[in-house]
Amino acid sequence: MLKHSDMTEEARLVFEVVPHTKEVTVGEVAQFTYLTEPCCQLILTQLAMAGLIKENIKENTFQNI
């Protein structure tokens, strides 16, 4: 995943911050990455659509798989 040349540095940072052990919110990711919440939301949604992370729509959380 981290070797994909088409992944931006911001996406790589967000992907690395999302843990395997627990679910996190967009706000938590934004705090760790210093990116805006809308930017993190977009990147997390794209990562989920690509099947790289799991999204819990009911609780609006994300987890690395």
**What is the residue-level pLDDT of the chain in tens, covering all 65 positions?**
455 556 788 999 999 999 999 999 999 999 999 999 999 999 999 999 999 999 999 888 999 98
Could you give the C-alpha distances from 26 to 3, 23, 61, in angstroms and in order? 24, 10, 7
Statement: 9-64 belongs to CATH 3.40.50.720? no
The candidate with the shortest Cα–Cα distance to 25, out of 35, 40, 36, is: 40
Q: What is the 3-state secondary structure (H, E, C) of the chain?
A: CCCCCCCCHHHHHHHHHCCCCCCEEHHHHHHHHCCCHHHHHHHHHHHHHCCCEEEECCCCEEEEC
Can you give the pTM of this predicted structure?
0.86
